[in-house]
Amino acid sequence: MIIQIFKYSASLQPLLSKPTTCEIHSIFDSTINIYCQHKLIALSHKTAPLTPMSINLDCSASVFESLNIKKEDDVLLDDNGIILNDQRLFDLVGQAIDLSYPVYHKEIDDEELILLKANIDSLLLSTSSKGLLLNSWRTLFYNYPKESSFLQSYLYDSLVDIKQESNLRKQARKISNLIGAGEGLTPSGDDFLCGILAIFTYLSKDETISELKKQVVKQVKKNAHKTTDVSREYLLYASEGLFNEYVSKCFREHNHNQPYLQYLHKISTLGHSSGTDFLVGMYFGLEIGGIL
């Protein structure tokens, strides 16, 4: 049975333009990562959120989980799709999705940005998600009790440091110092960084934020190799202003004054703590950007 490609990230189009031999990088329940020309492609099912490195197949999560793919399987990419062990499994007829979003068109002190920050604040306070970075945020802004682990202390101190730093370059360095730090397949520090970059991209009309973004991106590109393969890909895409579809839709809707809360909710549910770590990053991006 041929499984079609439902949708894929438009940023993958150059990779899909000519036949390329790839290899299976890693296999999870709802994602299979393929290593192709020094980049990762993430295969997933129809309802998984699309990321800049995603190809989503037109099948349910349970069908995807039952695909019999092993690490040693051969993979060939061509302009018609993917061939696995000499058998064409997927056809490239799905939709290429552009995950970029426009820059916010109003000034930095706009009410809608203050509301965005308040909504993120409310979500971070009320979520039942767990994570040391989230705990650190709650301790920093709401005096929640601090856990005693070394990692918790480190993350808390880092957030305090970033918040208190007034020099742009130093602040960029401190933000980027979190690359590879923390728990998870995508360490918390990386997700936090991606969240900050998402906001900086959105608010890059402002000169100060644009400069700060430039500094952070420089550090990210220099140090992205110091984290896991999967996380590195996300960081590099974030440097180019590309994030998953929930983020893209959130900012597009916000920009047009349309309901966007459902996308913030969806971001918060990603991974074990990746989503909330990302939101903490967004919050910090707004805080550093001067949105009070």
Is 189 a binding residue for another protein by CB under 8 A? The answer is yes
| Between 25 and 205, CB nearer to another protein | 25
Is 218 a binding residue for another protein by CB under 8 A? The answer is no
Is 126 a binding residue for another protein by CB under 8 A? The answer is yes
Count CA atoms closer than 13 A to 76's CA, side-chain side: 10
Number of residues near another protein (by CB under 8 A): 60
> What is the spatial distance between Cα 277 and Cα 144, in angstroms, rounded to a whole number?
17
H/E stretch holding 136 reads helix 132-142
Among 78, 183, 211, 287, indicate the residue that binds another protein (CB under 8 A).
183
Is 91 a binding residue for another protein by CB under 8 A? The answer is no
> What is the spatial distance between Cα 79 and Cα 57, in angstroms, rounded to a whole number?
16
Is 40 a binding residue for another protein by CB under 8 A? The answer is no
Is 28 a binding residue for another protein by CB under 8 A? The answer is yes
Among 81, 182, 281, 289, indicate the residue that binds another protein (CB under 8 A).
182
Count CA atoms closer than 13 A to 277's CA, side-chain side: 27
Distance of CA 79 to the CA centre of its chain: 27
| Between 142 and 208, CB nearer to another protein | 142
User: Residue 275 — φ and ψ, nearest 5°?
Assistant: -65, -50
Q: Which residues in 228-267 contact another protein (CB under 8 A)?
A: 228-230, 245-246, 259, 261-262, 265-266
Is 137 a binding residue for another protein by CB under 8 A? The answer is no
DSSP string, 116-174: HHHHHHHHHHH-----HHHHHHHHHHH-PPPP-SHHHHHHHHHHHHHHH---HHHHHHH
Residues in the site for another protein, rule: CB under 8 A?
Answer: 1, 6, 25-29, 33, 46-49, 58-60, 62-63, 65-68, 123, 126-128, 130, 149-151, 154, 177-187, 189, 225-230, 245-246, 259, 261-262, 265-266, 269, 271-274
